[in-house]
Amino acid sequence: MNIHELKSLFIQRRNYSYENVNELLDFAKMTYIRNEISINDFRQIVRELELLGAEIPEVEQTALSENTN
C-alpha cells in the first residue's frame, strides 16, 4: 500500500476527507495495528507523511522515549 491508496481507504472508511496529515498518520497506525498493511508499507507511509509535516504528538513522544530508557 502507498500513501495514495491509504488516502483512498481513509475516505472510503470514514466517508469524509482527512483534514491534515496527522489524521492520516493516525489512520496508518490503526491499519497497521489491525494487520491490514505490512511493516514495510507502514514505515514508508510514515516517512512520506512526516515529509508532508505529520508529527507525533508531544505526549506520545515523551512516552516513547521513557519506554526506551
Q: In whole angstroms, how large is the CA radius of gyration of the chain?
A: 13
Distance CA 29, CA 14 (A): 15
Distance CA 24, CA 7 (A): 7
The predicted-structure confidence for 17-61, as pLDDT tens digits, reads as follows 999 999 999 999 999 999 999 999 999 999 999 999 998 766 555
Confidence of residue 11 (pLDDT cuts 50, 70, 90): very high
Distance CA 26, CA 56 (A): 9
Distance CA 40, CA 59 (A): 25
So what's the pLDDT on residue 58? 65
Distance CA 18, CA 21 (A): 8
Residue 64 has pLDDT above 90, yes or no: no
**What is the model's pTM?**
0.78
